[in-house]
Amino acid sequence: MTHVTSTSLISRRTMLKATGAVGTVGAFGVGTTLAAPPASAASGYAHPGLLHTGTDLARMKSKVTAGAAPYTAGYARLTANRHAQSGWTPNPQTTITRGGSGQNYAILYNDIHAAYQNGLRHRVSGDSAHADTAVAILNAWSAELTTLAGNADRFLAAGLYGYQFANAAELVRDHPDFELDRFKEMLSGVFAPLSDSFLVQHNGAVISNYWTNWDLAAMACVLATGIFCDDKAQVGRAVDYFKHGEGLGSIRNAIPVVHDDGLAEWLEAGRDQGHALLGVGLMGTFCEMAWNQGVDLYGYDDSRFLKGAQYVAKWSMGGEVPFTANTRAKGAVNGWSGSETVAGAAGVDPAMTRPIWAMIANHYTKRRGLSASYLTRIAAKSSPEGGGGDYGPNSGGYDQLGFGTLAFTRDRSTPSASPSAPASGAAPDPRPQTGASASTSTPPASGKDLAATGSTDVVAWSATAGLTAVAGGLLLLRRRDKAARGTAE
């Protein structure tokens, strides 16, 4: 088997862009290739068609009605969650702030999860009270919200809550009382522009300043809101960034080294377990939403995501994994500069989990019929998966919508190699068939808004004397000698 490695995470185009030689918006469109999207009454996209298609929702309903395991256990976690109760009262705000003073973003994520959970509960139970509750929440926010504010964390708010809002609304978009056009305006005017801007400009930082999950949150928002609003150009930008993006969230930058044993290093495993799990969950979410519109990113680049997810699953369960030391540049374009070196995978708590594994494991083992022993084991360990409110009170417990045991458990299907989409008029089920700690110091005040990672996070910096940040930043990966690498199952 060939040993593949990405020797640099920063392309020449990035370095030109950082010095102003390349226009910003135009950098996205080059090379975008999308599978033909499925036919869907006048829109070009199938609805529902983000994390859940009509076929998915029908499967959940029929399995729960029949009392089938593990769907019933997954549904029990949903009905027990306080956010899934009809009559939830929304608390819409004109401005949501994440990062800095006046933070109030917990109001938003609690209401989003209440809308999503009530919408999902309605789809399974048929109880209209839950649909009415979801619609009331969504309408209240689209009538009120105009601004996302705060320090750099406002980009996280846009990304995480933008993709979640779109998924909650997708469940009830045909409800007669849902203000669909107004909700589209909110997504297109408040959430998507910040995420688009981040992927182009990275808040004025060098390209490797922000860890993988920042890009992935923005990518998920751009894709989800593009599908929801039937914006093909926006969807094209998101898919192209996944394949060719210059930041650390694109597939080869997030998973820079593929080993002969079939595992591929997840870059953020050198940071900490929580953020690595967040990143895997976001990439899985991105791949699932694309898959449901006929775009196969799960299998892209010889199923690179499978190899990275297997790596994180093994590592999270306490297994030994290889890690290639790397140094990444940090700082502001034409401003201060520094670096951070990571020499090994961070320590883990095998008890830590997020509701991310059922979706990924079921895709590779059931849809594609592939062997994925670590994914299978960690998904079983995490089952039945809950959702927002089941994984602690802080924002990290609300980064994923969850309930994967209910939503993504599926029977094994017969895969084929290429994507396909239903013919016009067909049912809308558009599936392709196919460590170490870093040294730290405080950055100068002029860079204080560049890399906040949440109100309780400590950002690691290394202001290395004599380091010059190469036009946009350069992350170099050094191959370890093959003999030093461990083996995996």
pLDDT digits (tens, 9 = 90+) for 82-117: 999 999 999 999 999 999 999 999 999 999 999 999
* pLDDT at res. 414: 55
For residues 263-289, average pLDDT? 97
Q: How would residue 415 be classed by pLDDT, with cut points 50, 70 and 90? A: very low
Lowest-confidence range among 35-44, 279-288, 294-303, 323-332? 35-44
163 CB-side CA count, 13 A: 34
Band (pLDDT 50/70/90 cuts) for residue 450 is low
Token pair belonging to 447? 């860079």
- pLDDT band of residue 445 (cuts 50, 70, 90) is very low
Position 435 pLDDT exceeds 80:
no
The pLDDT confidence band at residue 44, using thresholds 50, 70 and 90, is confident
Read off the pLDDT band of 471 (50, 70, 90). Answer: very low
Mean pLDDT of all residues in 202-227: 97
Q: Could you tell me which residue, 152 or 487, shows the higher pLDDT?
A: 152
* Mean pLDDT computed over 163-184: 98
Q: Is 395 exposed, middle or buried (0-12, 13-18, 19+ CB in 10 A)?
A: buried
Q: Pull the structure tokens for residue 453.
A: 């990672």
Report whether pLDDT(485) > 90.
no
Token pair listed for 356: 């991310």
How far is the C-alpha of 4 from the C-alpha of 257, rounded, in Å? Answer: 6
Question: So what's the pLDDT on residue 394?
Answer: 93
Q: Which 3-state string (H, E, C) describes the chain?
A: CCCEECCECCCHHHHHHHCCCCCCCHHHHCCCCCCCCCCCCCCCCCCCECCCEHHHHHHHHHHHHCCCCCHHHHHHHHHHCHHHCCCCCCCCCCEEECCCCCCCHHHHHHHHHHHHHHHHHHHHHCCHHHHHHHHHHHHHHHCCCCEEECCCHHHHHHHHHHHHHHHHHHCCCCCCCCCHHHHHHHHHHHHHHHHHHHHHHHHHECCCCCCHHHHHHHHHHHHHHHHHCCCHHHHHHHHHHHHHCCCCCCHHHHCCEECCCCCEECHHHHCCHHHHHHHHHHHHHHHHHHHCCCCCCCCHHHHHHHHHHHHHHHHHCCCCCCCCCEEEEEEECCCCEEEEEECCCCCCCCCCCCCCHHHHHHHHHHHCCCCCHHHHHHHHHHCCCCECCCCCCCHHHHCCCECHHHHHCCCCCCCCCCCCCCCCCCCCCCCCCCCCCCCCCCCCHHHCCCCCCCCCCCCCCCCCCCCCCCCCCCCEECCCCHHHCCCCC
Residues 6+ apart with CB under 8 A from 252: 6, 9, 301, 304
pLDDT at position 92 is 98
Q: In this predicted structure, what is the pLDDT of residue 295?
A: 97
pLDDT at 412: 87
Higher pLDDT residue, 366 or 431?
Answer: 366
Is the pTM for the entire model greater than 0.85?
no
Residue 144 pLDDT exceeds 50:
yes
Q: Could you tell me what percent of the chain has a pLDDT over 70?
A: 76
**More confident site: 112 or 465:** 112
- CA dist 179 and 433 (Å) reads 34
What pLDDT does 420 receive? 40
Q: Token digits for 452?
A: 């906040």
pLDDT at residue 167 is higher than 50: yes
Backbone angles phi, psi at 139, to 5 degrees: -65, -40
Q: How many CB atoms lie within 10 A of CB 154?
A: 23
Q: 18 versus 209: which is more confidently predicted?
A: 209
The pLDDT mean for the chain works out to: 81
Kindly state the tokens that stand for 342.
Answer: 């990571």
Q: Which residue has the tokens 């010059």?
A: 468
Other C-beta atoms lying within 10 Å of the C-beta of residue 188: 16
Q: Which two tokens stand for residue 179?
A: 């203000």
Q: Is the pLDDT of residue 478 over 60?
A: no
- Given a cut of 60, whether residue 382 has pLDDT beyond it is yes
- Mind listing the pLDDT tens digit for each residue in 20-40? 222 222 222 222 333 333 434
Residue 428 has pLDDT above 70, yes or no: no
- Please name which of 215, 289, 206 lies closest in space to residue 252, comparing C-alpha atoms: 215
Distance of alpha carbon 244 from alpha carbon 150, whole angstroms = 29
Mean pLDDT to the nearest integer, 251-277: 97
How far is residue 360's CA from residue 297's CA, in Å, rounded to a whole number? 12
